[in-house]
Chains A and B, each alone.
Chain A
Amino acid sequence: MFGSVEELQKKLAACDYLTDRHVATIVYLALKLQKPLLVEGPAGVGKTELAKVLAQATNSRLIRLQCYEGLDEAKALYEWNYQKQLLRLHVAQTQSKDWEEAKQDIFTPEFLLRRPLLEALSSEEPVVLLIDEVDKSDEEFESFLLEILSDYQVTIPELGTVRSNHIPVVVLTSNSSREFGDALKRRCIHLYLDYPTFERELDIIHLKIPGIKDCLAQQIVSFVQVLRKQRLKKAPSIAETIDWARSIMTLGSKVIDEEIVQGTLSILLKYQSDIDKVYNKVSSLLPEK
């Protein structure tokens, strides 16, 4: 797929995803070893985005399974379309077919509702399967995932075994809101995505907001970087830096000062308690002129 780490890194950059060599190395290894990639890290550092961009860079279809508490096989893998089956049974009754015949009718692909996992396993074209926020699902589901990720096949009792033609690229993301099992973790290649360095974030800002003056961008990024070092409930993410930079551009300011920052702080910080904490010491956190 990719000949080298550099090639992958360039491809990602071409899809507007700027990243460090070591991140590219780890993603490269996951692809080469054909193992699921488990991406962990704080909110908004680009975990989901990485999977999306990877699909783009590998010309694959992105199939996304969003996890939540209570997610089960029926929602993740497949389900029989009961309503439709009942209707068909009703019709069959009036035609006085026996049960064996009727059964032949209703457990066919026509009545199968494909959910993301089955979709990914049975796809003809290459796919990137994004299992987003696995830590939100519960343990039962986790062990079920483990099964799927072990042999990339499922058996549907009425239809037989579905096996994927090519092992899909699997990306799992987690915010570590819950500890999940070691078995699943062991099966994966680990990528810990952290907040970007100053230089990297500056590059991202320039990439996403083409018109921005370098000096303003620098001020913005260094303020955000300082802010992340404070003890906050939720530190600003890359997405928030971008939003904030955009609004400051819209305001037409060329530099940031205390007043501007205080007026726009709610774009960066989502919790009122964080805003209160920072509000009065903004000037001491601003980069020196």
Chain B
Amino acid sequence: MEEKILEFGRLLRKGGLNVSFSQIADALRATAEVGFQFEDFYHALACTMICEKADKPLFDKMFRLFFLTLPASQHGRENGESQLVSTENTGHIIELARSAEGIGQGRGGGASPALLLVKAVQDGNYSLLNQLAQLAFKSLGNPKRKDLANLEQLIVQAKVSIGWYEAVNRLERIREKEKVNESTYSRWLECLNYLEDRIKELLEEYFVITFGQDALEEIASAANLREKEFYQLNNIEIDEIRKRITKLARKLASKYARRYRRAKHGEIDMRRTVRNALKTGGTPVCLRYRKKKLSKPEIVLLCDVSGSVAVFSEFMLQLVYTIQNRFRSVRSFLFVDRIEEVTNYFHNEDIEAALQEAFSKANFSYSGFSDFGKVFTIFATKYLNSISPKSTLIILGDARNNWRSDERDFLKQISEHVRKVLWFNPQPQSAWDTEDSIMKVYAPYCRQVFECRNLAQLGEVIEAIL
């Protein structure tokens, strides 16, 4: 069992949880104390290995797959079949599947899965939802090992097979027509989320049972949000990253605050200390400190918001504006092949709303294809005068210029005007200067060019500007 726990710790690390060696040692001691009765064993591991509540879902998933599913996989292989679908449900599912086949021939005969789904959601019938998940999963047949890399796609396929989108559509219409209240509607959404999660769980279990340890490791790495490429994120992950950015921001803020507080206690000011000591008969009871000035950087952000880069720009804006009082000033611009300042949208408190407004109102795109040359031209002629020479100008973009003219002289002009130019590129370094990427054309005018593909790197680069 000790080995298993060590192995489990390694797997969690792969999934992005920072489990230290001492935590694993504690986990070993803890399980030795409470034994291996399932519940106690789980809590013994959880209370020693999880540091944050946010890490619990990943921990739970890995725990389930590693301690429950994986052992079943060896067992399953010996018996020559997988044991996924618990037998009690099978009969019912076959029945369901039959009615599902009916759907192709028109909506008349039997309950189509979409109708079943609508009903299950309305009734909050979780056992029916569970059966639908099984049905959806079964529709995929036996996915191959390599399909694991496209898990998201499989899930979509499975959802389509049970008429998910039709059902969602129907539910929306019912909601409008029958004026369904908010709490009921949120219960519906809970049901849908549950179903989606179940399908994913079934699939992951299938892969682990059929392909064993190796598949499990892939699932763990795929779950590692910190290392996940920005352009691969799905909506749920984007939400999760937003939360983590808020956390990251708080962490940075308090770190910076500490430095600032320390700075308030700069060097001892002898003159004032001695003068003050006169009050206490010449004994310097209170020391006086000289205040230290702390320079706050001025930031100008130029954010490419075309295609897959938009997510990254959005994260960066969220991060910077969450800690904006750590800067003397922040100005922000959005661009694709036009550029417009959006600083004013961020004057209100709600950053999320500001982002939405900026993205929907600002005029940054003419053709929809990035044109860095054009953007630098506009920026240099229209805005540069008003940019403080002390500022750090940060360009977020992939430097994919769609074969257009690079207008490097304008970037040169910009870089001579400001204190420094930094470039954050969300594409892997290996992709720079391939196809229409012209990173090396612009790089000479930047103090530094950073690769910034995932949350972990975002954390690192932001430290570079603080």
Q: Is the CB of A26 within 8 A of B26?
A: no
B46-89 interface bits toward A, Cβ cutoff 8 Å, 1 = contact, 0 = none: 11101111001000000000000000000000000000000000
Nearest-Cβ distance from residue B285 to partner chain A, whole angstroms: 7
Q: Is the CB of B30 within 8 A of A21?
A: no
Q: Is the CB of B258 within 8 A of A138?
A: yes
Contacts of A229 in B (CB 8 A): 183
Q: Is A140 an interface residue (CB 8 A)?
A: yes
Interface residues of B in 17-31 (CB under 8 A from A): 18, 20, 22-23, 26, 29-30
Q: Is A33 an interface residue (CB 8 A)?
A: yes
Nearest-Cβ distance from residue A56 to partner chain B, whole angstroms: 22
Q: Is the CB of A178 within 8 A of B33?
A: no
Report the bound CA distance from A191 to B48 in whole Å: 9
Contacts of B291 in A (CB 8 A): none
Cβ-neighbour of B251 out of A30, A179, A186 (below 8 A)? A179
Q: Is the CB of A35 within 8 A of B26?
A: yes
Cβ-neighbour of A5 out of B34, B56, B181, B250 (below 8 A)? B34
Contacts of B255 in A (CB 8 A): 139
Q: Are A185 and B250 CB-contacts (below 8 A) given A25-B34, A138-B258? A: no
Q: Are A29 and B283 CB-contacts (below 8 A) given A40-B53, A138-B258? A: no
Q: Could you say which of B37-45, B160-168, B209-217, B325-333 contacts chain A?
A: B37-45
Q: Is the CB of B261 within 8 A of A33?
A: no
Contacts of B181 in A (CB 8 A): 284
Chain A residues close to B by CB (< 8 Å): 5, 21-22, 25-26, 28-30, 32-33, 35, 40, 82, 86, 138-140, 176, 178-179, 182, 185-187, 189-192, 229-230, 284
Q: Is the CB of B39 within 8 A of A22?
A: yes
Cβ-neighbour of A189 out of B22, B47, B261, B283 (below 8 A)? B47
Which 4 A-B pairs give the minimum distances between C-beta atoms?
A: A185-B51, A26-B47, A139-B258, A179-B251
Cβ-neighbour of A29 out of B20, B34, B285 (below 8 A)? B34
Please give the number of chain B residues whose Cβ is less than 8 angstroms from any Cβ of chain A in the complex: 34
Could you list 19 examples of A-B contacts with CB < 8 Å? A28-B33, A29-B44, A32-B33, A33-B30, A35-B26, A86-B285, A138-B257, A139-B258, A140-B261, A178-B250, A178-B254, A179-B247, A186-B22, A186-B51, A189-B48, A190-B46, A190-B51, A229-B183, A230-B183
B240-268 interface bits toward A, Cβ cutoff 8 Å, 1 = contact, 0 = none: 00000001001100110110011000000
In the complex, the number of residue pairs spanning A and B with C-beta atoms less than 8 Å apart equals: 75
Q: Are A29 and B30 CB-contacts (below 8 A) given A86-B283, A182-B51, A190-B51? A: yes
Q: Is the CB of A29 within 8 A of B251?
A: no
Nearest CB in chain A to that of B49: its residue: A190
Contacts of A40 in B (CB 8 A): 53
Give me 6 other A-B pairs in contact (C-beta within 8 A), A186-B51, A192-B56 excluded.
Answer: A33-B29, A139-B254, A139-B255, A189-B48, A190-B50, A190-B51
Contacts of A186 in B (CB 8 A): 20, 22-23, 51
Nearest-Cβ distance from residue A227 to partner chain B, whole angstroms: 11
Interface residues of B in 310-367 (CB under 8 A from A): none
Cβ-neighbour of A21 out of B18, B39, B46, B48 (below 8 A)? B39
Cβ-neighbour of B40 out of A5, A82, A138, A191 (below 8 A)? A5
Report the bound CA distance from A185 to B283 in whole Å: 43
Report the bound CA distance from A185 to B251 in whole Å: 14
Contacts of A139 in B (CB 8 A): 254-255, 258
Contacts of A185 in B (CB 8 A): 51-52
Contacts of B47 in A (CB 8 A): 25-26, 29-30, 189-191
Report the bound CA distance from A29 to B23 in whole Å: 13
Contacts of A26 in B (CB 8 A): 43, 47
Report the bound CA distance from A127 to B344 in whole Å: 56
Nearest CB in chain A to that of B259: its residue: A139
Cβ-neighbour of B250 out of A28, A33, A179 (below 8 A)? A179
Report the bound CA distance from A168 to B39 in whole Å: 28
Q: Is the CB of A33 within 8 A of B254?
A: no
Report the bound CA distance from A185 to B46 in whole Å: 13
Report the bound CA distance from A190 to B283 in whole Å: 48
Nearest CB in chain B to that of A21: its residue: B39
Cβ-neighbour of B33 out of A21, A29, A82, A284 (below 8 A)? A29
Contacts of A21 in B (CB 8 A): 39
Nearest-Cβ distance from residue A257 to partner chain B, whole angstroms: 19
Kindly name the residue among A182, A186, A284 whose own CB sees the greatest number of chain B CB atoms within 10 A.
Answer: A186
Report the bound CA distance from A40 to B285 in whole Å: 41
Nearest CB in chain A to that of B42: its residue: A22
Report the bound CA distance from A82 to B283 in whole Å: 12
Contacts of A33 in B (CB 8 A): 26, 29-30, 33
Nearest CB in chain B to that of A140: its residue: B258
Contacts of B51 in A (CB 8 A): 182, 185-186, 190
Report the bound CA distance from A157 to B385 in whole Å: 59
Report the bound CA distance from A33 to B26 in whole Å: 8
Report the bound CA distance from A189 to B50 in whole Å: 9
Report the bound CA distance from A28 to B29 in whole Å: 12
Q: Is the CB of B44 within 8 A of A25?
A: yes
Report the bound CA distance from A182 to B22 in whole Å: 13
Contacts of B56 in A (CB 8 A): 192
Nearest-Cβ distance from residue A89 to partner chain B, whole angstroms: 8
Nearest CB in chain B to that of A141: its residue: B258
Q: Is the CB of A25 within 8 A of B43?
A: yes
Report the bound CA distance from A22 to B183 in whole Å: 30
Nearest-Cβ distance from residue A238 to partner chain B, whole angstroms: 19
Cβ-neighbour of A138 out of B53, B254, B285 (below 8 A)? B254
Contacts of B283 in A (CB 8 A): 86
Report the bound CA distance from A75 to B123 in whole Å: 58
Nearest CB in chain A to that of B255: its residue: A139
Nearest CB in chain B to that of A37: its residue: B47
Contacts of B43 in A (CB 8 A): 22, 25-26
Report the bound CA distance from A156 to B210 in whole Å: 62
Report the bound CA distance from A30 to B30 in whole Å: 9
Nearest CB in chain A to that of B280: its residue: A86
Contacts of B183 in A (CB 8 A): 229-230, 284
Report the bound CA distance from A21 to B52 in whole Å: 21
Contacts of A28 in B (CB 8 A): 33-34
Nearest-Cβ distance from residue A16 to partner chain B, whole angstroms: 23
Report the bound CA distance from A125 to B350 in whole Å: 52
Contacts of B23 in A (CB 8 A): 186
